[in-house]
Amino acid sequence: MKKGRIIKLTGGIYTVCDEFGGRKQLKPLGIFRYKNFKPKVGDIVEFDDNSILKVYPRENDLVRPAIANVDQALLVTSAKEPDFSFTLLDRFLVLIHQQAIDPVIIVTKIDLLDENKLDELNRKLAYYERFYPVIRVSNKKLFNIDAVTQIAKGKVNVLAGQTGAGKSSLLNAIDPNLELATDEISVALGRGKHTTRHVELIEFASGWIADTPGFSKLEFVDIDIYTLKDLYPDFRELSSNCRFNGCTHTHEPGCAVTEAYQGKLILPERYENYQKFYQEIKQTKPKY
Ligand SMILES: Nc1nc2c(ncn2[C@@H]2O[C@H](COP(=O)(O)OP(=O)(O)OP(=O)(O)O)[C@@H](O)[C@H]2O)c(=O)[nH]1
Ligand SMILES: [Mg+2]
Ligand SMILES: [Zn+2]
């Protein structure tokens, strides 16, 4: 029996990489389906010549993209085409914090912004830089790609982001030998075309990095209105000064977060998105 990591899943076939770098194509034992359990990319498994026999408990488990056991999420958001969205970025950050994974914010396509627009974006990103690493790149001009390599090396990374944001292009910029497929974004839809179709971990700088299919929508799962606030490191820092324990920072008197927002100490978009997410979660009927 051997131990390894699932690095790819296509058409029900799993590619597993063993401890010596050998690859094998396998199917899971029928028992998994019987138990309604689906192994996924990133899983650490035991296997024999034909089958995956056992899946080790997951350290973390992302639904979108579908991957387990990652050290770090590289959140890829384009500066333009598709337009930069703070709502999407904040949504992402919430979902990544929910799994206790470290996020890195990567802003692609900065070559498409003129100087004024870039200044404006940078001023807002400066807020995030107090809490997260933020790397601005151009995959086209090969600008700042080294910074991504540096932060990703030796870790298990996942690229996550909207379709067309430039995830596969970023990997191609890091290693041109990969020749991953990329495609123009659709003018009609203003977004990508779902060019990447499966999750795949690629060996890289004594670590791994996963290319993943992009999405056009991201939903909250298993987050309630009382835990949402805990997924904001910036709010957590302030909340010891809220009058009430368990303050949700939405309507309570003496809320230090609301005061910080009013005093422009929190990026307005960030707090307003939080209010939106809070209402969205509140209005979602619990699923039983
Ligand atoms: N100008 C510019 N274009 C870029 C940059 N990065 C990616 N693109 C273009 O954006 C388009 C989409 O890039 P992809 O790498 O396919 O995007 P993706 O995130 O992998 O998309 P999915 O696989 O659908 O999730 C392609 O036409 C790329 O050439 C960049 O830094 N600058
Ligand atoms: Mg892609
Ligand atoms: Zn509060």
pLDDT in tens, 57-84: 999 999 989 999 999 999 999 999 999 9
Q: Ligand 2 centroid vs 193 CA: distance in angstroms?
A: 9
Q: Ligand 1 centroid vs 146 CA: distance in angstroms?
A: 18
Find the ligand nearest to 255 CA: 3
Q: Distance between CA atoms of 101 and 97, rounded to whole angstroms? A: 6
The yes-or-no verdict on residue 101 having pLDDT over 90 is: yes
Nearest CA to ligand 1 atom 6: 166
What's the pLDDT band for 268 if we cut at 50, 70, 90? very high
> What is the pLDDT averaged over residues 179-208?
88
Q: Is 163 in the pocket of ligand 1 (CB under 6 A)?
A: yes
Q: Distance between CA atoms of 213 and 8, rounded to whole angstroms? A: 13
Q: Which helix (H) or strand (E) holds 281?
A: helix 268-283
What's the pLDDT band for 186 if we cut at 50, 70, 90? confident
Q: Ligand 2 centroid vs 183 CA: distance in angstroms?
A: 8
Q: Is 248 in the pocket of ligand 1 (CB under 6 A)?
A: no
Q: Ligand 3 centroid vs 254 CA: distance in angstroms?
A: 7
Q: Ligand 2 centroid vs 285 CA: distance in angstroms?
A: 33
What is the radius of gyration, based on Cα positions, of the chain?
20
What's the whole-model pTM score? 0.95
> What is the pLDDT averaged over residues 26-50?
93
Q: Distance between CA atoms of 150 and 247, rounded to whole angstroms? A: 39
Residue 245: C-alpha distances to residues 226, 239, 242, 252 (Å): 11, 8, 7, 11
Q: Is the dihedral of CA 88, 93, 98, 104 positive or negative?
A: positive
Q: Distance between CA atoms of 239 and 249, rounded to whole angstroms? A: 8
The yes-or-no verdict on residue 262 having pLDDT over 70 is: yes
Q: Is 64 in the pocket of ligand 1 (CB under 6 A)?
A: no
Q: Ligand 2 centroid vs 66 CA: distance in angstroms?
A: 14
Q: Is 107 in the pocket of ligand 1 (CB under 6 A)?
A: no
Q: Ligand 3 centroid vs 287 CA: distance in angstroms?
A: 28
Percentage of residues of the chain with pLDDT beyond 70: 99
Find the ligand nearest to 162 CA: 1
Domains (range + CATH), the chain = 2-57 (2.40.50.140), 62-211 (3.40.50.300), 228-282 (1.10.40.50)
Strand partners, 134: 105
What's the pLDDT score for residue 286? 66
Q: Which helix (H) or strand (E) holds 107?
A: strand 102-108
What's the pLDDT band for 252 if we cut at 50, 70, 90? very high
> Which is the closest atom of ligand 1 to the Cα of 161?
19
What's the pLDDT score for residue 205? 84
* pLDDT tens, position by position, 107-119: 999 999 999 999 9
Quick check: 45 and 5 in contact, CB under 8 A?
Answer: yes
Find the ligand nearest to 167 CA: 1
Nearest CA to ligand 1 atom 2: 109
Q: Which of 74, 162, 169 to mutate to test the pocket of ligand 1 (most atoms within 8 A of CB)?
A: 169
User: Which amino acid is residue 158, in one-letter code?
Assistant: V
